[in-house]
Amino acid sequence: MRTVAEADEYIGKTLAKKYRVEALIGEGGMGKVYRSRQLALDKPVVLKVLRQSLLSDERTVARFQREAKAASRLNHPNSISILDFGQADDGALFIAMEFVPGQDLHQLLNREWPLAEGRVIRIVSQVLSALSDAHGAGVIHRDLKPENIMVEQRRNDTDFVKVLDFGIAKITDSSGEDGPALTRAGFVCGTPEYMSPEQARGASVDHRSDLYAVGVLLYQLMTGLLPFESDSAVGFATKHLTEEPPPPSKRRPDARISVGMERLILRALSKDPDDRPANAEAFKAELHALEHRERRRSEPAPRRAAASAAPMSSPVLAPLPRRGTGGSHLATQPGTVRDWDSAEATVRAVPEIIQTTPNPMPSSDHLEESAVSMGQDNPGGLGFFKILTLTLVLAAGALAYYFFFSGNSASTPYSIPENAPVPRKEDARTQGPDFSTPLHSQEIPAQALNVAKSREHEMEGDQQYQRGRLDLAATHYKNAFQLNPKPELSLKLGEVYWQHELPGEALAWWSRHLRDAPSSVARAYIVEQRKSVAGAPVP
Ligand SMILES: Nc1ncnc2c1ncn2[C@@H]1O[C@H](COP(=O)(O)OP(=O)(O)OP(=O)(O)O)[C@@H](O)[C@H]1O
C-alpha cells in the first residue's frame, strides 16, 4: 500500500450521485482508497473503489463484496463502519465507509517508534476488542497487519483504534459452516509476515489465527522488528511454520520490554493454537494485567498503601512517559518494517501449477485454500522453479511442523500451578470484603438473562474503560453482569476497581470471578494482587 498524492480519474467527480471524491489516500492490490464527501450529509467518508480491470475477476469481486459483507456485520467502535456498497455510473464497484482522521499503524511505527509499553498495550487492547466482537459474530479477519489498523488521536482519547479491511475475512454462518468459498483450490490468503502457521500451511483456521497475527503485531510494536526476517514470501511462510521466534529482548536489548510482555508475545506466537491465549478477551485481560503490574511496581510503596484513599478520577492505562524519538527509527533499521512489494496485496493469483500439488497437510474444510497466494499482481511473476521451491518448502515445513509440534505441548508460563494459593478470608484487609460471601447470592431469574443487552453494556464498558472513565465503565459492566453474570465480566469489574484504587471492591469481584471460573488464566495475577493488598511483598 502506498500513499499517492497525484491527480486521478475520479478526483473531483461525484460517484453514484452521492459521493464527491476529494483526494486519493491509498492504493492497494484491489483498487484505490479516496477521501470523499457524502453530499447529503456533508460528511467526510472513505470510498474504496475496485480497479476497473479487476471487475471481470470473479474472485476479486467476491473478495470486495465480502469485505462489505463482513464489516457490515460488525458494530463495534473499534471496527470500521461500512456505510454503503454500490456501483458508479462507469460500472466501478465501491464501498463507502467512515473516514478515520488518523494514520495507520505502519505509518505510526515509522514515525514514532519506539513506543512505550503502556501505549502499545492500549493500542493492541483495542485491536483485541474489535477482534473479540468480530469473532463473536463469526468473522475471522485473517489479514491483520499494521496497514489495516488506523489510529486516530481523539481529543481526550489518544490512540483510538479502528480495524480495517475485512476483505479476506472468513465468515462463518450460524450453523458453523463457512460462507461461500472465497478462494479457489490452490490458494491461501493473508500477508506472509503476519501469517499463522496453520494459515501458511493451508489448514483450517479459527479465531486463534488472528491472535497469532496480534502476536506478530505486538512483537513489531515493541521491537520495531518482525519476528522473522526473509526476502521472500516462501521464506516467511517457512519460518512461521518451523522456526521459534527469537525472544524480543534478544533482538532488541536496548528496548524496554517487560518480562511479562515478552512471555505473552512468545505465547501468542506459539505454533500450536492451543498454546496461545484462548481468545481475544483472555489476551486483552493478560495485557491489562501486565500494564497494571508494571504500574504497581513502578509506584513507590507509600502510594500503594494509600491506594484505597485515592480519588475516583485516576486514569486507566495512564500513558507511560514517552521515550525520546532520538533513538533508532524504523526507517534506519535494516530489515525492519518495510515495503515488501510482493506482500502488499494479500490475495493474489499463484500460477496454476501449484494447484496440482497436493496439500501436504490437507484439512477437510480447507482444500480450497491450500497453497500460498503471495505472489505479485502479475501471476506470471513467480517462475516455475520458484513455485516448485515454494511447494517443496511448504511441504517440508508442514512435515517439520507436524513432526515437532503435534506432540505434547510444553506447559505455558501462564499455567496455574496446582498448589497456587486461593484467596482466603483471613488474608484480606480488615476493611476489605468477606471473600467467602458471594456478591450475588441470589439467583438471577432466567428471563433476566438478556445476553444481547448485556453485550451492549459490556461494549460500552470497554469503551469507557479505554477512555479512562472508570466509574462509567464499572456501571456498564455491572449492568452487563446483572443481565449475564459471566466470569469475564467479574474479571473486568475487578480490574476496573483495581485501577480505580478500590482494592476491596476489586478483590471481591475477583473472588467472584475465581468462584465462577476456578481455572481462570487470571488466577495467578489475582493472587499476586491480593498479596500486595495484604501487605505481602510483590514477587
Ligand atoms: N476508513 C479509512 N479512513 C482513513 N484512511 C483509510 C481508511 N481506509 C483505508 N485507509 C487508508 O488506506 C490504506 C489502504 O486501505 P486498505 O488496506 O483497506 O486497502 P486495500 O486496497 O484493501 O489494500 P490491500 O489489499 O493492499 O491490503 C490504509 O492503510 C489506510 O492508510
**pLDDT at residue 531 greater than cutoff 80:** no
The model's pLDDT over 402-443, given as tens digits with 9 standing for 90+, comes to 333 333 333 222 233 333 333 333 333 333 333 333 344 344
pLDDT at 189: 72
Once rounded to an integer, what is the mean pLDDT over residues 218-229? 97
What span, in angstroms and rounded, lies between the C-alpha atoms of 214 and 194?
Answer: 8
How confident is the model at residue 120, as a pLDDT?
Answer: 97
Mean pLDDT of 70-99: 90
User: Does residue 42 come out as left (phi exceeding 0), alpha (psi in the -120 to 50 range) or beta?
Assistant: left
Reduce the DSSP state of residue 317 to 3 states and report it.
Answer: coil
DSSP string, 27-92: E-SSEEEEEEEETTTTEEEEEEEE-GGGTT-HHHHHHHHHHHHHHHH---TTBPPEEEEEE-TTS-
Nearest to residue 211, comparing CAs of 281, 148, 113?
Answer: 281
Residue range 334-356: mean pLDDT, rounded:
27
Determine if ligand 1 sits within 6 Å of the CB of residue 97: yes
Atom of ligand 1 nearest to the CA of 104: 31
Cis peptide bond upstream of 114, omega within 30: yes
Q: Degrees (nearest 5) of the Cα angle 407, 408, 410?
A: 130
Instruction: State the average pLDDT over residues 517-536.
Output: 74
Query: Which ligand 1 atom lies nearest to the CA of residue 164?
Result: 18
> How confident is the model at residue 535, as a pLDDT?
58
Q: How far apart are CA 116 and CA 484, in angstroms?
A: 36
Residue 11: what pLDDT?
95
| Closest CA to ligand 1's atom 18 | 165
**Interface ipTM:** 0.95
Taking residues 37-50, report their average pLDDT.
95
- Reply yes or no on whether the pLDDT at 177 is more than 50: no
444 vs 226: which has the higher pLDDT: 226
Domains in the chain (CATH in brackets) are: 1-99 (3.30.200.20), 101-174+187-295 (1.10.510.10), 441-534 (1.25.40.10)
- Residue 404 Cα, ligand 1 centroid: separation in angstroms? 38
Length of the chain: 539
Range in 18-27, 276-285, 468-477 with the lowest mean pLDDT: 468-477
Which residue of 147, 189, 340, 341 sits with most ligand 1 atoms within 8 Å of its CB, as the best mutation to test the pocket?
A: 147
Statement: residue 394 has pLDDT above 70: no
Write down the pLDDT at residue 371: 31
Q: How far is CA 202 from CA 6, 18, 362, 449, in A?
A: 39, 41, 7, 40
Amino acid symbol at 370:
S
> Which of 110, 134, 108 has the alpha carbon at shortest distance from 122?
108
**Segment 248-262, tens digit of pLDDT:** 999 999 999 999 999
Measured torsion, CA atoms of residues 366, 265, 226, 34, in degrees rounded to the nearest 10: 70
Kindly state the average pLDDT of the residues 327-334.
26
> 60: Cβ below 6 Å to ligand 1?
no
Q: Pick the closest to residue 38 from 78, 87, 98, 86 (CA basis).
A: 98
Cβ of 36 closer than 6 Å to ligand 1, yes or no, is: no
Known binding residues: 48
164 CB under 6 A from ligand 1? yes
CA of 12 to the centre of ligand 1 (A): 20
Bind-site residues for ATP:
48
Mean residue pLDDT of the chain comes to 72
Over 80: is that where the pLDDT of 311 sits?
no
Q: Indicate whether residue 346 lines ligand 1 (CB < 6 A).
A: yes
List, by residue number, the catalytic residues: 143
Establish whether residue 82 lines the binding site of ligand 1, counting it when its CB lies within 6 angstroms of any ligand atom: no
**Distance from the alpha carbon of residue 206 to the mean position of ligand 1, in angstroms:** 24
Summarize pLDDT for 473-512 with one digit per residue, the tens. Answer: 888 888 889 888 888 888 888 888 887 777 888 888 888 8
Range 124-162 burial, b when 16+ CB lie within 10 A, else e: bbbbbbbbbbbbeebbbbbbbbbbbbbbeeeeeeebbbb
Going from the C-alpha of 473 to that of each of 466, 521, 532, the distances in angstroms are 9, 22, 24
- What local confidence, expressed as pLDDT, does residue 95 receive? 93
Tell me which of 23 and 535 has the higher pLDDT: 23
pLDDT of residue 169: 73
> Which ligand 1 atom sits nearest the alpha carbon of residue 33?
12
For ligand 1, atom 13, which residue shows the shortest CA distance?
A: 26
Residue at grid coordinates 495512564:
318
Task: Give me the pLDDT at residue 298, please.
Answer: 67
* Ligand 1 center to 34 CA (angstroms): 9
Alpha carbon 434 to its chain's center: 37
Residues 6+ apart with CB under 8 A from 363: 202, 203, 204
Say yes or no: CB of residue 104 within 6 Å of ligand 1. Answer: yes
Give residue 204 CA to ligand 1 midpoint distance, Å: 26
Q: How far is CA 220 from the centre of its chain?
A: 13
Mean pLDDT confidence for 343-350: 30
